[in-house]
A and B are shown apart, each in its own frame.
Chain A
Amino acid sequence: MKYVNKTIPSVDGKGLMMGKPGYTDDLAEPNSLIVRVLRSPHPFAKIIKINKEKALTLEGVECVLTHKDFKRIAVTRAGQGYPEPSPHDKFILDDHVRHIGDEVAAVAACDKETAKKALELIDVEYEVLEPVLDFEKAYENKNVIHSEPEIHEMFPIGLEPLKNVAASYMMNVGDVDKTLEECDVILDTRFYTQAQAHVMMEPHTANARIDYQGRLVMYSSTQTPIHVRRILSHALEYPLSKIRVIKPRIGGGYGGKQCLHGEFLVAAVTLRTGKPSKIVYTRKEVFESTFSRHPMRFDIKLGAMNDGTLKGIDVDVLSDTGAYGEHALTVFMVAGSKVFPLYNKVDSVRFGGKVVYTNHTPAGAFRGYGAIQGNYALESAIDMLCDKMNIDPVEFRMKNMIKEGETSPIFAIMGEGTEGTAMNMESCKLDYCVKRGLEIINWKDKYPKKTTEDGKVRGVGMAIAMQGSGIPYIDMGSAMIKLNDDGFFNLMVGATELGQGSDTILGQIAAESLGVNPDKIVIYSSDSDLTPFDTGAYASSTTYVSGNAVKLTADRMKEMIIEEGAKALGTRLAETDFDGKIIKSGDKEMTLAELSNRLYYNEDQKQLMACESYVGTKSPPPFMAGFAEVEIDPETGKVDIVDYAAVVDCGTTINPALARVQVEGGLVQGIGMTMYEDVVYTSNGGMVTNNMMNYRIPTRKEITDMHVEFADSFEPSGPYGAKSVGEIGIDTPPAAITNAIYNAVGVRIQELPVTPEKVFMGILKQKDKE
């Protein structure tokens, strides 16, 4: 392969490093009205009275919007395909507020200061309601968070708002009770995972204007421009055909920008005033008023035989979706569907539970999407079971884990919100990943622990993981390739580059297929007017789904070039070929530049344009094995990550450097979640960690050594053998690190994040026992 499996610099990296304008707020109209939002100081309240008259009299205020200005249309901000598997439980503005930071009213004014003053002039009288702040007490709580009659599900997802249930689910393979009864050893335990904040560096941002055709044109920092257009149209009852959504460069998302946030209010302001407007979320708003990761409780039972065969998995999950139910069901299901097929030889699996509402900041999509939570529970439990059975945890995994050519019944049962799709693992190098990871981390010398000269203890631990590659039969990607005069191409994709490098790798796929140098391909993403349909950047779909669409499109363009070339040369189609520069048949030839100039200026004149689409018929999982080495100070409980080795099977790496950094970046987000990242609330429902001083993300000081490698793997259904790589990196750190901590000091962390205090208290407890 000439241009695939090659590192080339990203197409936009240099320009962005040099400071070229490209992000949403760089592209706002200079005279935009500034939109600010009045946010709820209460976790749960009814708005009894709201008076905007005083605010409206302030000079420079153009518009004040309250719930009275909107028709009550329930939508979901989830940014998913249609019909969405998330409950429609959100109004643009409502007469109830359901978490601190929820929207009460919006103002649009000539500048920031005026907008801020106007917010203070809005009189609101609240009836404060008793909030539900403990997700374990939310189910059938007397305080009902969503009692409004308009909210609904688009198809059965288990929504029971009067019981504070946003979604529920249950699946069975075999008879798990019977299986567990027959097992020699049972492990029965509980884990908790916490809310994690995305902390993308660019805050949520949107701006709008009415263009010269009277259409609403919006720039939005979004992962899903096509969904934004559709959901805006529904929520505002404004024709889809009169909305254009442009996704410019995006300063990070990780799932946090799959959903809609500022778009509704900016659109409403511009439609009402006719003037351009913009919103830039403050960091406090990003923390309090967008989304975080679903906290979950896992009750997990594993059953095994004395010979080290895993027989049954029984898991009950309680998930906290916060005030609104975006991604409630699907994140929940992924905690099972992209975790438990790892151990496909079991006789039975039961997976079920509920997703409940609370009066905390809502949860939404976040890289890993349930799989990181489920992986922590399962892969910790596997080590605990092995410990109980006195079996080596690596050998246990090698014996019981999924292998190439195999399948799991879970694939057919569980999809994302719907039934799944049966598939065999055409590519699964998990065994290689484990073996190679053992070598990199030097497991045999380090397992389980070593004491250093200064009295610290080093331990190693590991975990295996899988993810998916798009949502089969739902996610669609498409691409258009246009040949221009002088023989260069435009590649237009709806796939949303958000910093992961998708523009670059999609260009490489097209270059490979056409045989042309990538610099002959000008890529553009994404603009709902100009680029073809794509569901967007989520569910690890871009390389596999959009990548396949690009390959099909480029293949078609190559055929068209050969057809036109044969015509121009007067040769037979079957004997004519194109090598990326020259169209050739026998001794007759012409360059692509000559052909295209002929097509556009001289003879047989026509535009060559190819457009193809791709919908996955399966979602081949990438796999990985992660190995952590930790150093613990037994005097303080402080844990340092000394090394992290990751060996990944993502099929072909289209761009090895970009793939590697996807894994490294995922690992560090996973390490942050494991070690300290935690969205903390007061007992009154206020968020303590609503700024970057209180919510800490990893810095370059604590991440010093990581070793990421890729297995030699080829996925036959992927573009040039590729699977996804965007999410898999985040999944292993919680289990691998907590397993390493256990191996080092015998303390089992069953509630994330790991903190020095928990480790130290665990060490003390052990000493007490001794």
Chain B
Amino acid sequence: MKIKIKINGTIKTINVKADEYLVDTLRNNGCVSVRRGCDTTSCGICTVLLDGAPVASCSYLSCRADSHEVTTVEGIQEEAALIADFFGHEGADQCGYCNPSMALTLYAMKRELKNPDDDEIRAYLVGNLCRCSGYVAQHRAIRAYLEVE
């Protein structure tokens, strides 16, 4: 079936299978930053923004994205670079596999929550798992990033 979907600002018409997930559609269409982690919507690695809100693309059927707007980290390059500076300063980037999804979720959080406290930040990002960093360095980086106007 054909779907019309706006990926990072460009409208594309794409042929997808009825049972195809968004992660595969995006990977097959040039967004290699979208990757699988767990297959069960548990880890957050495959996060993309659907109309600005984070969704797990490994369990989001591509046909449901028809007529919607999808943002991957390829679509927020400047913001991702800025976030990366804060992560780099703390040594929090580590293996980097979860970082495009972190950048997207943080980007969405910054627009959704006004002056979140530590608990609110952790609650918002709890679905983004990281096995390398132990989270506290990420948290330091996130706090510093949120200071930026």
Residues of A within 8 A of B (CB): 7, 9-10, 12-14, 16-23, 25-26, 198-203, 249-252, 254, 280, 282-284, 498-501, 655-661, 664-669, 691-693, 697-701, 703-706
Q: Which residues of A contact B131 (CB under 8 A)?
A: 198-201, 252, 254, 665, 669, 697
- Assess whether A700 is in contact with B138, with CB atoms less than 8 Å apart: yes
Q: Which residues of B contact A664 (CB under 8 A)?
A: 133-137
Q: Which residues of B contact A252 (CB under 8 A)?
A: 94-95, 97, 131-132
- Assess whether A18 is in contact with B95, with CB atoms less than 8 Å apart: no
Q: Which residues of A contact B43 (CB under 8 A)?
A: 201, 692
If A203-B37, A701-B126 touch, whether A13 touches B98 (CB-CB below 8 Å) is: no
If A18-B73, A700-B122 touch, whether A668 touches B134 (CB-CB below 8 Å) is: yes
User: What CA separation (Å) do A199 and B137 show in the bound complex?
Assistant: 20
Which residues 22-44 in B have Cβ within 8 Å of A in the complex?
31-33, 35-40, 42-43
If A691-B38, A697-B131 touch, whether A706 touches B136 (CB-CB below 8 Å) is: yes
- Assess whether B134 is in contact with A201, with CB atoms less than 8 Å apart: no
Instruction: Name 15 interchain pairs, CB-CB below 8 A, sorted by A.
Output: A9-B85, A17-B73, A18-B73, A19-B74, A23-B35, A201-B132, A202-B35, A252-B94, A254-B131, A283-B38, A283-B39, A500-B94, A664-B133, A665-B134, A699-B135
Instruction: Specify the chain A residue showing the minimal Cβ separation from B124.
Output: A700
- Assess whether A692 is in contact with B40, with CB atoms less than 8 Å apart: yes
Asked if B83 is at the interface of the complex by the 8 Å CB criterion, the answer is yes
- Known: A692-B40, A698-B134; 7 extra A-B contacts, CB below 8 A, are A18-B84, A19-B80, A251-B98, A252-B131, A254-B131, A500-B95, A655-B91
- Assess whether A704 is in contact with B118, with CB atoms less than 8 Å apart: yes
Q: Which of B37, B72, B137 contacts A201 (CB 8 A)?
A: B37
Which residues 106-149 in B have Cβ within 8 Å of A in the complex?
118, 122-123, 125-126, 128-139
Q: Which of A501, A669, A699 contacts B91 (CB 8 A)?
A: A501
If A16-B96, A657-B137, A664-B136 touch, whether A284 touches B39 (CB-CB below 8 Å) is: yes
- Assess whether A18 is in contact with B80, with CB atoms less than 8 Å apart: yes
User: What CA separation (Å) do A703 and B83 show in the bound complex?
Assistant: 21
Q: Which residues of B contact A660 (CB under 8 A)?
A: 91, 137
Interface size on B (CB < 8 Å)? 54
Q: Which residues of B contact A693 (CB under 8 A)?
A: 40, 42
- Assess whether B95 is in contact with A661, with CB atoms less than 8 Å apart: no
Instruction: Specify the chain B residue showing the minimal Cβ separation from A658.
Output: B91
Q: Give the residue among A9, A282, A703 with the most B Cβ atoms within 10 A.
A: A9
- Assess whether B94 is in contact with A661, with CB atoms less than 8 Å apart: yes
Chain A at the B interface: mostly helix, strand, loop or mixed? Answer: loop
Q: 5 tightest CB-CB pairs across the interface, nearest first?
A: A499-B95, A19-B33, A9-B88, A251-B97, A16-B96
- Assess whether A17 is in contact with B84, with CB atoms less than 8 Å apart: yes
- Assess whether A251 is in contact with B95, with CB atoms less than 8 Å apart: yes
CB distance from B73 to the nearest CB of A (A): 4
Instruction: Specify the chain B residue showing the minimal Cβ separation from A11.
Output: B88
Q: Which of B39, B42, B72, B137 contacts A661 (CB 8 A)?
A: B137
Asked if B2 is at the interface of the complex by the 8 Å CB criterion, the answer is no
- Assess whether A661 is in contact with B38, with CB atoms less than 8 Å apart: no
Which residues 76-109 in B have Cβ within 8 Å of A in the complex?
77, 80-81, 83-85, 87-100, 102-103
- Assess whether B45 is in contact with A201, with CB atoms less than 8 Å apart: yes
CB distance from A155 to the nearest CB of B (A): 35
CB distance from B105 to the nearest CB of A (A): 11
Q: Which of B45, B91, B96, B118 contacts A17 (CB 8 A)?
A: B96
- Assess whether A17 is in contact with B130, with CB atoms less than 8 Å apart: no
Q: Which of A16, A655, A666 contacts B93 (CB 8 A)?
A: A16
User: What CA separation (Å) do A498 and B103 show in the bound complex?
Assistant: 20
Q: Which of B74, B77, B135 contacts A668 (CB 8 A)?
A: B135
Instruction: Specify the chain B residue showing the minimal Cβ separation from A26.
Output: B32
CB distance from A702 to the nearest CB of B (A): 9
Q: Which residues of B contact A13 (CB under 8 A)?
A: 84, 87-88, 93, 96, 99
- Assess whether B88 is in contact with A14, with CB atoms less than 8 Å apart: yes
Q: Which residues of B contact A500 (CB under 8 A)?
A: 94-95, 132
User: What CA separation (Å) do A12 and B74 show in the bound complex?
Assistant: 16
User: What CA separation (Å) do A693 and B43 show in the bound complex?
Assistant: 9
Q: Which of B35, B89, B93, B102 contacts A7 (CB 8 A)?
A: B89
- Assess whether A17 is in contact with B42, with CB atoms less than 8 Å apart: no
Q: Which residues of B contact A667 (CB under 8 A)?
A: 134
Instruction: Specify the chain A residue showing the minimal Cβ separation from B42.
Output: A692
User: What CA separation (Å) do A664 and B95 show in the bound complex?
Assistant: 14
Q: Which residues of B contact A23 (CB under 8 A)?
A: 35, 97
If A19-B33, A201-B45 touch, whether A657 touches B38 (CB-CB below 8 Å) is: no
Instruction: Specify the chain B residue showing the minimal Cβ separation from A25.
Output: B35
- Assess whether A18 is in contact with B40, with CB atoms less than 8 Å apart: no
Q: Which residues of A contact B136 (CB under 8 A)?
A: 664, 703-706
Instruction: Specify the chain B residue showing the minimal Cβ separation from A669.
Output: B131
CB distance from A506 to the nearest CB of B (A): 15
Q: Which residues of A contact B33 (CB under 8 A)?
A: 18-21
User: What CA separation (Å) do A699 and B40 show in the bound complex?
Assistant: 16
Instruction: Specify the chain B residue showing the minimal Cβ separation from A695.
Output: B42
Q: Which residues of A contact B38 (CB under 8 A)?
A: 283, 691-692
Q: Which residues of A contact B39 (CB under 8 A)?
A: 282-284, 691
Instruction: Specify the chain B residue showing the minimal Cβ separation from A18.
Output: B80
Q: Which residues of A contact B88 (CB under 8 A)?
A: 9-10, 13-14
- Assess whether B134 is in contact with A499, with CB atoms less than 8 Å apart: no
If A19-B73, A203-B37, A252-B97 touch, whether A665 touches B132 (CB-CB below 8 Å) is: yes
- Assess whether A17 is in contact with B35, with CB atoms less than 8 Å apart: no
